[in-house]
Amino acid sequence: MLRLEPNAATLGATIHGLDLRQPLGDAAFRAVLHALGQYAVLRLPNQQLHPRQLAAFSRRFGHIQTSVSGRYHHAEAPEVGILSNIVENGVNIGIPDAGQDWHTDMSYTATRGFINVLHAIQVPTRNGRPLGDTRFADMRAAYATLPEDWKQRIEPLTATHDFNVFWQNMAARPGSSRPPLTPAERAKRPPATHPLVLRHPISGTPVLYCNPGYAERIDGVSPAESADILGYLFAHQRQPRFQHAHHWQVGDVLLWDHLATLHTAVADYTAAEPRLMHRCQVMADQVFSPEFQRQWLDAA
């Protein structure tokens, strides 16, 4: 029996009573989708999953996107990416610095990212407290609290999002192992343009769809106006009042809605404190489609 326990924060809920080793029935899938539309970040605790089971669960929501480098995938389930600071035989077993600043995954592709599904395999702890939180900011609340004149100003606007913006920022950090992207890698991820205001495909709620990780410029305005708009929006959307920190526990599966949130991974642990996450990155190819909407959203 599925039970929802909302967080105190503006977003987030725990779902009890699901064992993701079993295929999700239609009623449970519909309930998870609606909870996602309402809470945007969902925790499913105590899951003991083979990566193939994580991929099978994630695939229900849409197509799974693999990494641009083609590296750090699970050998037995290539759709599952590995995020980790663990080094074996001198080699990182996963991406060591994934997502360590505010961003929205896959905003830089023509088909936006829909959800991230992370399974916590190893969580660093110090003095009994988990480290390596993932922090979220609620972009429904960010939109709702914009002054009316700003809502009107941004309604017709689009922004260009570029994968290279975040990559370069991370590569510039001291000790980064990220090489510059090759022309072939850049060609695989050309910039994409999206409206700043998105109607959420599950809830219909307006969302501020813009993020400091990838949004490079506002289209069709001068560089000065673009910088002015982005500067305002980036400061607005990162306010603490919109934020929620997820404190990981081993076995957590965390699903979060890229369309409704920003997130950042907190790098407050050392190389001697191992963190290992399995990740499936699900695209918004299905969720906007009329068939999906009819089957899973209208019929509820």
Kindly list the residues in this chain that would bind ligand SIN in the complex (CB under 6 A): 83, 98-99, 105, 116, 134, 263, 265, 277
**Shortest spacing between CB 219 and ligand SIN, in angstroms:** 25
- In this complex, which beta carbon is closest to ligand SIN, that of residue 54 or of residue 83? 83
- In this complex, which beta carbon is closest to ligand SIN, that of residue 197 or of residue 284? 284
- In this complex, which beta carbon is closest to ligand SIN, that of residue 105 or of residue 257? 105
**Shortest spacing between CB 8 and ligand SIN, in angstroms:** 21
- In this complex, which beta carbon is closest to ligand SIN, that of residue 172 or of residue 299? 172
- In this complex, which beta carbon is closest to ligand SIN, that of residue 146 or of residue 265? 265
**Residue whose entry in the numeric block shows the structure tokens 């309930």:** 31
H or E, element range at 181: none
**Shortest spacing between CB 263 and ligand SIN, in angstroms:** 6
The residue at minimum Cβ distance from ligand SIN is 99
Query: Taking every pair of C-alpha atoms in the chain, what is the biggest distance, in angstroms?
Result: 57
Does residue 131 contact residue 269 with C-beta atoms inside 8 Å? yes
**Shortest spacing between CB 207 and ligand SIN, in angstroms:** 18
**Shortest spacing between CB 232 and ligand SIN, in angstroms:** 24
The three-class DSSP label of residue 48 is coil
CA angle 49, 53, 58 (to 5 degrees): 115
Nearest Cα neighbor of 236 from 157, 150, 159 is 150
Instruction: Show the tokens assigned to 194.
Output: 């999206």
H or E, element range at 85: none
Q: Residue 123's CB: how many other CB atoms inside 10 A?
A: 21
